[in-house]
């Protein structure tokens, strides 16, 4: 594998890049990103998510299906309800990092780049 110039680490495999691109593709939808953000704060059923993200119940349900198929969220049955939760804590970390940094940038706060992202 080739190494990135000046960084000293190996490039990720094609499989890893493909999987990362698929995850980012799913999160490119503001509605799905909001759903993941909401689920990062705690479990919810589809009705609660629809109220929180301001989406129609069928649309939120379709977004959840896509996120579930991708392995980003999962569900469990609680009586007659399906309760959804994030199934990939690494995705939550990425979403929180990006949203927090964009929020801080919007307020004019200056944040140092995390050590592992410097130079990117």
Mean pLDDT by 10 residues, the chain (120 residues): 58 91 89 93 95 95 94 93 92 88 78 53
pLDDT at 33: 92
In angstroms, rounded to a whole number, what is the distance separating the alpha carbons of residues 47 and 118? Answer: 40
For the entire predicted model, the pTM comes to 0.75
Q: Which two tokens stand for residue 13?
A: 């495999």
Show Cβ contacts of residue 111 under 8 Å, excluding neighbours closer than 6 positions.
Answer: 101, 104, 105
In angstroms, rounded to a whole number, what is the distance separating the alpha carbons of residues 20 and 1? Answer: 18
């Amino acid at each position: 594998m080739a190494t990135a110039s000046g960084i000293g680490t190996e490039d990720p495999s094609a499989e890893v890049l493909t999987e990362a691109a698929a995850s980012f593709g799913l999160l490119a939808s503001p509605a799905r990103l909001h759903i993941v953000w909401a689920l990062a704060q705690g479990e919810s059923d589809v009705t609660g998510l629809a109220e929180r993200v301001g989406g129609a119940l069928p649309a939120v349900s379709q977004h959840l299906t896509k996120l579930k198929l991708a392995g980003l969220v999962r569900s469990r049955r609680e009586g007659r309800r399906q309760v959804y939760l994030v199934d990939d804590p690494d995705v939550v970390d990425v979403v929180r990092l990006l949203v927090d940094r964009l929020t801080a940038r919007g307020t004019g706060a200056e944040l140092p780049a995390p050590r592992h992202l410097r130079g990117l």
